[in-house]
């Protein structure tokens, strides 16, 4: 089967793993999958001996497809994670100019609306807060305010073309901020599934290794196959 077919085969059982039982990977997934696939080969050779000790030998057959499903989910998660890393880099490159643009617009607005108490209060409110999300929202509110009250801006020769520019910048920075922050949450569904798949595989892997060390306690060479 393909990676995605193995995932679809195991999807329901992976999702069924309780969150309170989820174990986070303690080594790179590719290294772990390699060790599990090696175990699948070794344990299959010892199938009769392991089964004779009471182990469910179906566990051996589940290792490879489940590890394939884990590899699929890891690839999906890393794609999201790398996209987030790229968005963070892009945000860090663009944000300083966006903040500077926001501050310059507020400077012009404060002067243009200095004699309009009602509007100037709105400008003062926009100035409140200086977080990343504040900046994104400020650019949009500045555009809306300027479009609603253009005359004072025209009076100081303000370039009204900067208003749609602020609106466009707000939209693009909003998308960039969402991309930079969205996948960072440990609750990201893809990461949760990856961790659940690891947990399920680790449980099966641990049972087989436990039986292997028990069965081959007098055979150091064969017992060594069942250590991590």
Would you say 142 and 149 are in contact if contact means Cβ atoms under 8 Å apart? no
How many whole angstroms separate alpha carbon 98 and alpha carbon 93? 10
Q: What is the pLDDT of residues 115-144, one digit of tens each?
A: 999 999 999 999 998 899 999 999 999 999
The model's confidence at residue 187, banded by pLDDT at 50, 70 and 90, is low
Q: Which two tokens stand for residue 224?
A: 């060594």
pLDDT of residue 83: 87
For residue 188, the 8-state DSSP code is -
pLDDT digits (tens, 9 = 90+) for 43-88: 999 999 999 999 999 999 999 999 999 999 999 999 888 888 899 9
Q: In angstroms, rounded to a whole number, what is the distance separating the alpha carbons of residues 1 and 148?
A: 61
Task: From residue 1, give the alpha-carbon distance in Å to each of 9, 12, 42.
Answer: 10, 17, 21
* Residue located via tokens 């926001």: 102
Q: Quote the pTM value.
A: 0.74
């Amino acid at each position: 089967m393909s990676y995605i077919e193995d995932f679809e085969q195991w999807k329901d059982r992976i999702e069924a793993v309780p969150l309170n039982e989820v174990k986070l990977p303690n080594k790179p997934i590719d290294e772990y999958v390699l060790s599990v696939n090696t175990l699948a080969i070794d344990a299959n050779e010892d199938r009769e001996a392991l089964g004779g000790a009471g182990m469910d030998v179906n566990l051996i057959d589940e290792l490879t497809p489940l590890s394939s499903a884990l590899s699929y989910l890891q690839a999906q998660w890393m794609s999201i994670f790398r996209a987030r890393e790229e968005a963070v880099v892009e945000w860090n490159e663009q944000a300083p100019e966006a903040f500077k643009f926001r501050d310059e617009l507020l400077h012009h607005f404060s002067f243009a609306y200095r004699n309009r108490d009602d509007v100037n209060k709105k400008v003062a409110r926009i100035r409140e807060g200086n977080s990343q999300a504040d900046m994104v929202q400020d650019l949009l509110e500045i555009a809306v305010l300027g479009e609603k009250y253009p005359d004072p801006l025209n009076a100081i020769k303000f370039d009204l073309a900067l208003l749609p520019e602020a609106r466009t910048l707000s939209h693009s920075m909003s998308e960039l901020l969402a991309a930079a922050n969205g996948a960072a949450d440990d609750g990201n569904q893809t990461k949760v599934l990856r961790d659940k798949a690891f947990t399920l595989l680790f449980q099966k892997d641990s049972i087989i290794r436990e039986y292997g060390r028990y069965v081959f306690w007098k055979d150091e060479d064969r017992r060594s196959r069942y250590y991590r």
